[in-house]
Every structure is written in structure tokens, then in C-alpha cells.
């Protein structure tokens, strides 16, 4: 009997023993296409020789040094590479071990920034419904995903949630995409005014919403308006690119497509590509200087910040992405995946929307295309499709519809950037089989 504490205690799942390219192998030798790249983690695919070599070399040279040392060589090099390619005034990188640590650190940095500037009253965060920012208590409070939050309420920090930019169900009849985006962005201003303009420390959002909504980008102009509002009221803009960042959308940083730069940017998953647990919180020079010229100490930290082996893996991953043109490849293959999904499911009576950017695509299922009526969440459709796809040898990321019908069940696809055209067909074939098996009859 196993003594591992799994997440799903009632499920009997196979044990993964190996991975190569886009595939994972279980203990019985069965092969699975990694169509969700973990949760959008495996951007280079499995067993990448360059990353393995970088990890092996670093572990042999220096596996760990505590924070009595300022940084390590790979941490320095990776920070330089990230900053050189980051948008706007991003200037500093704080390395952590994963996504929740990155968003949690971002929340604390935003708070400390305002404290250092003599604005202790700025302690409120505004985020969006249908968002996910991580599972630790601060990050969970920021996320607007009710089923994850409910049983842990009351959560620890002052948060309010405005509408997401979710065009498929949110845009009104006769309303243009642009007007819709401005309308929902303006909810931020209304909320800041409601709370008191000098009480808000930050607004937090995913540029392309991942786990809760299935690869939903904002409409044109939305984030520009958000940036304007943040600037007007001295509110920091935190962009959570833990899932959508690191090349996944066809840009190294997802916000590049929206033409905005944040004050704080969080990345994780694709940064280590699964080879090491690593995340990072990047911030502007202005924020860094507020700490440097103030207390000189960011009141935060974990044992493994800037871990040499994790940063060496991250460095090898980002170099591989840039040197092999994989971000561009991700954009191109993403268009092909979108086209293949549209060809196969575009007329499907239960597929309401197919969307996303790069190799980050979502398929939303509805009971009725005309009314966009979701399936009854009690059917557990997305979960059943995940299971059927797994049986068929495809790993995909499902999300159940919300009980208030704000969004339906959807399937998220986030394959490695090395996916080929034949493999896109394999993914779409297997997904079609799984969906057909699970849809309610009649």
C-alpha cells in the first residue's frame, strides 16, 4: 500500500515512470500525449538533453547555498536574461519555487512598497472573478474561483473581485468587443472609488486566464485601460503569468500581446519546464528602489529562493526557447492547433467557443450553442472528458463549469512547443473520441 498522500485520495491513478518528447509513460508501459503539459508546464517536452546537462552540471558544482550569499551564478545569469527580454521597466527578479510563492511574494511586495512610501492605508487588492492565483492562503484570497476558496473562508486579506474580461459570455448584444473591454475595465475604476482611491495597493490579473476559464485572452484595449486606471490612482498592476507566461502564448511574456507592462510580473511553470520547481516575481526599478532606499530589506523569504540548480534549469530552458526559436514556433503551431480544433469542432452542436493564444487553447462546451447555456455542472462533464481522454492516451486539463452558469465546462490544451502537425492531429483525434464518449445523449 502506498504511503504517498495524493491529491485525489479516491482515485486510482497510474504511476508515471518516464517521459520523452511530448509523451509520458506509465508503469505498465502505456504512452500518453502530454496535451496539457502538466498544467501548462512542459514547454520544451520531456528529456531535453540541454536542460538535463545544465541540471547535472550545476548539481555537481553547487547544489545549494543559503541566503548568507547574495545570489549564485545561474541566478544572476537567468535574471539578466529575463530582464533583457521583459516588458517595460522590469528590472529585478526574485526567484521562488513555484507559482503560488511568486504571487504571494507579489502581494507582499506591493504592500511593502506602499509602506515604504508612507502609504500604510493602501492594503486592499482588487482581482477578478474566474481567476486563479495559487493555493497558499494569500494567493487563494486573491483568486476569484469560488469552489477553491469557499471552505477556507474567511480569507486573510482584503480582496474584492470585479468581472473578468470574458467576451464569449460577457459581451452584450450589439456591443463591440472594444466597448465591452472598456466597460469591464472601468469596473476597476468604480471599485477603486468605492473602496477609497488611496486604500488600494494593487490590481492582479492573468493576461490570458488559464485554469479557471480555459485560455481566455482579454479583448483589444482592455489591459491598456486597466493600465491607465492603475496609473491614475497609484495602484500597482500585478500580472500573473504563472500559466500563460514563458512563451506559452507565442510571446515570451503574455502581456506583450496586450501592449502593456506591469509593475510586478509573476512567472513559474514554463520557466522550469518541469525540470526543476522554480518561479519568479519580477518588478520594476521603481519598486525595487523604494525598498533599497527605504528599509533595504524585503520582509519575505523562503529557504530555496534563488536555488542554484533550479535557476540553472530555468536558464537552460529560457536559452533553449530563445536560441531554438521556440516562442515563434509556439505562435505558429498554436495557429495550427486553433485551425485543427475549429475544423473538427467548429460546427459541433456542443462546442460554444474555441479560443486562446499560441499553444494555450480552450474549448468550451455548452448544452446549447444558440443560448450558450452550459451543461449542468452536476454532470461533471469536464472531469469525465479528462478521464476518457486519459484512457485514450491524451492528458488534457479540464475545468468544470461554474454553478452560477458564468462559464461552461471547458478543456484546456497546452502541449509542448515541439509538437508537430501530426501530433496536433493525434491530440484532436483523441479529444474528439473523449468528447463523443462523454456527452449526454439526446
Contact residues toward ligand PLP (CB under 6 A) are 39, 98-100, 103, 132-135, 206, 210-211, 240, 242-243, 268
Sequence-ordered list of residues with C-beta below 8 angstroms from that of 1, at least 6 positions apart, any chain: none
Q: How far is the CB of 362 from ligand PLP (least distance, A)?
A: 13
Burial of 289 (0-12, 13-18, 19+ CB in 10 A): middle
Helix 381-391 to helix 421-438 angle (10° resolution) is 130
Q: How far is the CB of 422 from ligand PLP (least distance, A)?
A: 29
> How wide is the angle at C-alpha 333 spanned by C-alphas 327 and 336, nearest 5°?
150
Q: How far is the CB of 162 from ligand PLP (least distance, A)?
A: 17
Q: How far is the CB of 251 from ligand PLP (least distance, A)?
A: 16
CA dist., res. 264 & res. 280, Å (int): 10
Burial of 140 (0-12, 13-18, 19+ CB in 10 A): buried
Integer CA distances (angstroms), 141 to 115, 119, 190, 230, 435, in order: 21, 22, 21, 20, 33
* Residue entry with cell 511530448: 22
Q: Hey, is 104 helix, strand or coil?
A: helix
- The residue at minimum Cβ distance from ligand PLP is 99
Integer CA distances (angstroms), 92 to 41, 78, 207, 281, in order: 23, 11, 20, 8
Task: For ligand PLP, give the closer residue by CB, 101 or 116.
Answer: 101
Task: For ligand PLP, give the closer residue by CB, 21 or 277.
Answer: 277
Q: How far is the CB of 339 from ligand PLP (least distance, A)?
A: 26
Task: For ligand PLP, give the closer residue by CB, 129 or 348.
Answer: 129
Q: How far is the CB of 269 from ligand PLP (least distance, A)?
A: 6
Q: How far is the CB of 161 from ligand PLP (least distance, A)?
A: 15
Task: For ligand PLP, give the closer residue by CB, 169 or 212.
Answer: 212
Task: For ligand PLP, give the closer residue by CB, 265 or 389.
Answer: 265
Task: For ligand PLP, give the closer residue by CB, 99 or 221.
Answer: 99
CA dist., res. 223 & res. 128, Å (int): 13
Task: For ligand PLP, give the closer residue by CB, 134 or 214.
Answer: 134
Q: How far is the CB of 384 from ligand PLP (least distance, A)?
A: 21
DSSP tally for the chain: helices H, then strands E: 15, 17
Helix H or strand E segment including 139: helix 137-142
Q: How far is the CB of 206 from ligand PLP (least distance, A)?
A: 5
> Would you state the cell numbers that stand for residue 135, as one nine-digit string?
493555493
What is the secondary structure of 220-271 as a DSSP string?
A: TTHHHHHHHHHHHHT-EEEEE-TTTTTTTTSSSSGGGGGT---SEEEE-HHH
Q: How far is the CB of 78 from ligand PLP (least distance, A)?
A: 17
Q: Exposure string (b/e) for 326-338, b if CB count within 10 Å is 16 or more?
A: bbbbbbebbeebb
Task: For ligand PLP, give the closer residue by CB, 244 or 291.
Answer: 244
Are residues 308 and 75 in contact, defined by beta-carbon separation less than 8 angstroms?
yes
* Strands 216-217 and 208-209, sheet pairing: antiparallel
Q: How far is the CB of 39 from ligand PLP (least distance, A)?
A: 5
- Whole-angstrom Cα Rg for the chain: 21
> Would you state the cell numbers that stand for residue 125, as one nine-digit string?
487588492
Amino acid at each position: 500500500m502506498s504511503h504517498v498522500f495524493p491529491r485525489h485520495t479516491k482515485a486510482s491513478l497510474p504511476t508515471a515512470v518516464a517521459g520523452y518528447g511530448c509523451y509520458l509513460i506509465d508503469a505498465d508501459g502505456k504512452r500518453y500525449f502530454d496535451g496539457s503539459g502538466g498544467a501548462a508546464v512542459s514547454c520544451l517536452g520531456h528529456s531535453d538533453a540541454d536542460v538535463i546537462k545544465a541540471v547535472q552540471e550545476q548539481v555537481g558544482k553547487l547544489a545549494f547555498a543559503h541566503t548568507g550569499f547574495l545570489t549564485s551564478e545561474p541566478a544572476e545569469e537567468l535574471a539578466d536574461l529575463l530582464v533583457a527580454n521583459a516588458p517595460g521597466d522590469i528590472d529585478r527578479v526574485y526567484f521562488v519555487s513555484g507559482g503560488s510563492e511568486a504571487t504571494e511574494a507579489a502581494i507582499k511586495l506591493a504592500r511593502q512598497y506602499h509602506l515604504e512610501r508612507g502609504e500604510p492605508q493602501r492594503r486592499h487588492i482588487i482581482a477578478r472573478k474566474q481567476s486563479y492565483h495559487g493555493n497558499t492562503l494569500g494567493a487563494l484570497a486573491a483568486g476569484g474561483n469560488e469552489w477553491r476558496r469557499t471552505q477556507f473562508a474567511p480569507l486573510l486579506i482584503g480582496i474584492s473581485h470585479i468581472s473578468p474580461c470574458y467576451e464569449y459570455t460577457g459581451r452584450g448584444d450589439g456591443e463591440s468587443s472594444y466597448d465591452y473591454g472598456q466597460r469591464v475595465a472601468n469596473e476597476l475604476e468604480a471599485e477603486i472609488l468605492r473602496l477609497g482611491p488611496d486604500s488600494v495597493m494593487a490590481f492582479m490579473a492573468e493576461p490570458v486566464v488559464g485554469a479557471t476559464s480555459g485560455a481566455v485572452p482579454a479583448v483589444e484595449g482592455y489591459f491598456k485601460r486597466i493600465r491607465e486606471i492603475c496609473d491614475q490612482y497609484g495602484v500597482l498592476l500585478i500580472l500573473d503569468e504563472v500559466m500563460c507566461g514563458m512563451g506559452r502564448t507565442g510571446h515570451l511574456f503574455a502581456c506583450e500581446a496586450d501592449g502593456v507592462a506591469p509593475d510586478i510580473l509573476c512567472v513559474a511553470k514554463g520557466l522550469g519546464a518541469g525540470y526543476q520547481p522554480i518561479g519568479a516575481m519580477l518588478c520594476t526599478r521603481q519598486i525595487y528602489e523604494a525598498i533599497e532606499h527605504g528599509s533595504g530589506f524585503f520582509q519575505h523569504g523562503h529557504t530555496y529562493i534563488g536555488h542554484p540548480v533550479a535557476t540553472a534549469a530555468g536558464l537552460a530552458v529560457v536559452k533553449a526557447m530563445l536560441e531554438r526559436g521556440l516562442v515563434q514556433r509556439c505562435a505558429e503551431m498554436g495557429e495550427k492547433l486553433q485551425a485543427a480544433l475549429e475544423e473538427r469542432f467548429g460546427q459541433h452542436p456542443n462546442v460554444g467557443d474555441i479560443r486562446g493564444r499560441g499553444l494555450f487553447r480552450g474549448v468550451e462546451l455548452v448544452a446549447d450553442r444558440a443560448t450558450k447555456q452550459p451543461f449542468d455542472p452536476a454532470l461533471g462533464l469536464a472531469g469525465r472528458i479528462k478521464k476518457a481522454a486519459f484512457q485514450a492516451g491524451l492528458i488534457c486539463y479540464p475545468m468544470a463549469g461554474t454553478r452560477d452558469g458564468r462559464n461552461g465546462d471547458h478543456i484546456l490544451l497546452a502541449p509542448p512547443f515541439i509538437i508537430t502537425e501530426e501530433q496536433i492531429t493525434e491530440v484532436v483525434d483523441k479529444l474528439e473520441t473523449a468528447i463523443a464518449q462523454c456527452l449526454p445523449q439526446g
